[in-house]
Structure 1
Amino acid sequence: MFLCFVFIFLLFYLSDAQQEKHSLHFKFTALSKADNFPEFSAGAVADDRQIKHYSNEERDWILTEDDWISAPEEPPDSRDWFLHQLNTLSNCTDSQCSELHVLQRMIGCELEKLPDGTVSLRAFDEYGFDGEDFMAFDSDTLQWIDKNPKAKETKMHWDLQTVRNELLHHYLKTCMNWISTFNYTQKNSPDVRVFARRAPDDHSKLVLICLTTGFYPRDIEMNIRLNRINIERQTSSGIRPNDDEAFQMRSSVEIDSKDKGSFDCLVIHSSLTEPVSVEWDGACFDCETEFLWFVIAGAAVLVLVLVLAVICYCIYKRKKSNDHTYVCDDGGERNII
């Protein structure tokens, strides 16, 4: 029974490690009454890395990463078209708007390859207005789906734009064809470190931390284990970006400082041929510092005691010396023998 459990456990994690995910997202944002921000911004992100951005100065798309020479074309709608839609929805003129409104769009495609060879493809074109879902394009029916009562009028108008809808359908199909042959092989292996520090509220406990950084692509599995079994109630930072476009993640759990079990951190990532396990060596990050402060405090007390002892001895010697002298009639002093 136990061997069966171990087999299922390993199969589950190895399957996650062999999953392959790719995505291409074009993101657009337009602001009315944009005093301190650009009224229009756009960028293309593939596998969590920006590969293109729109330059308002040059009124053109600029390739951000030089190695993305095969990056797909941007969607057919222009900057001016997007700003016009914002003004229409906001009831603003082209030159003046009394209130702040935000129109957002994300269009692209995603691919997921499962260990059994199954491939899942998804293409989408979605809009948001003032922080709420607004519209989504159905590429099969070439119709728009209103996701907000405010979008009904816009849906009716966009459904009649058959030429534009045909162009969107062709673009999304091209996106799925491109991502199906996508083979961006850059992968960075994670750097895994395991360490501990004293729990802030209870010094009889430790906080055991697993820090994984520098990995790419984004998806990763990591768990702190005791005797090769996952510990429950772990706290995770979630996956966060680094400055170099790689990623990091931190997990932690509170443990008893007297626990003698074997702790390790298990990490599974697509850049690794097999899962990596890093054991905790028992070191505590700030425990030695606390011990050092005890030593320093003890030494300071000892020095203070010695100084006080020397001062008391000097006072005693001086007092004893004064007790063995007397004043003569001629004004001089004589020692008592």
Structure 2
Amino acid sequence: KHHLCYMFSVLTVKAQISLGPWASVAVCDDKQVAYYSNENKKWIRESLTIDEPPDSRDWYLHQLNTLSNCTVSQCSELHVLQRMVGCDLVNFPDGTVSLRAFDEYGFDGEDFLAFNSDALQWIDKNPKAKETKMKWDLQTGRNKFIKKYLNNCMNWISTFNNTKKNSPDVRVFARRAPDDHNKMVLSCLTTGFYPRDIEMNIRLDRINIQNQISSGIRPNGDGSFQLRTSVEIDRNHEGSYDCFVIHSSLTEPASIKWGKYGICINCETEFLWLVIAGAPVLILVLTVIACIYKKKRSNGEL
């Protein structure tokens, strides 16, 4: 799964007044790949294969002023126009591809309009958007341009992700269960992977174990991601445990095995305390054996 999304936020202080704060960024798989520099008045792009958005800064000002055209009693002095435009791409194991394009608007904190790229029509999500929907539906040239722009999204995603891939570093370890010393918590930690989408499961004899607990995919400081999955297992159960990982950076799924003598945190401590606790008994037994041996030897029985 991959996605590319442009996000815009436009703010004006008063209706029919010039444009206020402006923020616009492009995000690919949750990583910023481009942004608009207000200082340089242009887009700064990490990859030239990702095109600039279809509308200019002045276009947003025009739309914001049009939508804000109401009486003082009907709207506040502060108005915000937001937009998300982009696509989601899914590559299936059989080689087929699914592409979902989207173009959505919000006005003053509420859903406003959304573009149906299949029907080439706008969907009004707010009673205030009906007039804008009718006007934009008649703009066939603009709608076809957006349709073509969104379709190109698939090529941009493919190009970007072919050059931005990091393989996951996978570790498997266990620790004593806090409430039941007959059980262990087996964990699988994978980190450093990019893109974000990943599938990971702890398996027993190649079958996914039920009731796994996941941390969810989390970001690392370098832009890569990490994921941790854990499950309770019977420490005396015989079987083959492994961590099974599927990621687009791997030519085939990775299987990292965990055996009975694999890494186990706190297990050695438990064993040490058992030895310490049993030491006095062991010393007593050895002393008794030594006494019996000495007595028999003095009586000539040995």
1:219 to 197, 202, 205: 197
Q: Quick one: which amino acid aligns to residue 48 of structure 2?
A: I
Match of 1:75 in 2: 53
The 1:283–1:130 alpha-carbon spacing in structure 2 relative to 1, beyond 3 Å, is farther
In the TM superposition, residue 29 of structure 1 has moved relative to its aligned partner by: 2.5
Please say if residues 40 and 83 of structure 1, whose CA atoms lie closer than 8 Å, have aligned partners that are also in contact: no
Match of 1:250 in 2: 228
The 1:160–1:210 alpha-carbon spacing in structure 2 relative to 1, beyond 3 Å, is same
2:122 to 144, 157, 160: 144
Q: Give the secondary-structure state (helix, strand or coil) at the position aligned to 2:50.
A: coil
Between the aligned partners of 2:60 and 2:158, the Cα distance in structure 1 is 29
Match of 1:195 in 2: 173
Match of 1:62 in 2: 44
Match of 2:264 in 1: 284
In the TM superposition, residue 56 of structure 1 has moved relative to its aligned partner by: 2.2
Deviation sequence 1:116-158 (CA, Å, 0-9, x none):
3333333321223455543112345543111233422332333
The 1:117–1:263 alpha-carbon spacing in structure 2 relative to 1, beyond 3 Å, is closer
Match of 1:241 in 2: 219
**Count of paired positions:** 268
> What TM-score results when the alignment is normalised by the length of structure 2?
0.72
> What TM-score results when the alignment is normalised by the length of structure 1?
0.66
Between the aligned partners of 2:206 and 2:157, the Cα distance in structure 1 is 38
Q: Of the two, which has the highest radius of gyration?
A: 1
In the TM superposition, residue 199 of structure 1 has moved relative to its aligned partner by: 2.9
Between the aligned partners of 2:269 and 2:79, the Cα distance in structure 1 is 53
Query: Quick one: percent identity of the two aligned structures?
Result: 72
Between the aligned partners of 1:198 and 1:90, the Cα distance in structure 2 is 62
The 1:228–1:120 alpha-carbon spacing in structure 2 relative to 1, beyond 3 Å, is closer
The 1:293–1:176 alpha-carbon spacing in structure 2 relative to 1, beyond 3 Å, is same
The 1:118–1:289 alpha-carbon spacing in structure 2 relative to 1, beyond 3 Å, is same
Between the aligned partners of 2:81 and 2:223, the Cα distance in structure 1 is 27
The 1:103–1:260 alpha-carbon spacing in structure 2 relative to 1, beyond 3 Å, is farther
In the TM superposition, residue 162 of structure 1 has moved relative to its aligned partner by: 4.7
1:261 to 222, 239, 242: 239
In the TM superposition, residue 62 of structure 1 has moved relative to its aligned partner by: 0.7
Q: Give the secondary-structure state (helix, strand or coil) at the position aligned to 1:58.
A: coil
Gaps of 5+ in 2: 14-19, 278-302
Deviation sequence 1:42-92 (CA, Å, 0-9, x none):
1112344322111222222112x2xx23222x2222234335544554668
Match of 1:303 in 2: none
In the TM superposition, residue 275 of structure 1 has moved relative to its aligned partner by: 2.1
Between the aligned partners of 2:249 and 2:69, the Cα distance in structure 1 is 51
Q: Quick one: which amino acid aligns to residue 257 of structure 2?
A: E
Please say if residues 49 and 159 of structure 2, whose CA atoms lie closer than 8 Å, have aligned partners that are also in contact: no
The 1:250–1:151 alpha-carbon spacing in structure 2 relative to 1, beyond 3 Å, is same
In the TM superposition, residue 161 of structure 1 has moved relative to its aligned partner by: 4.2
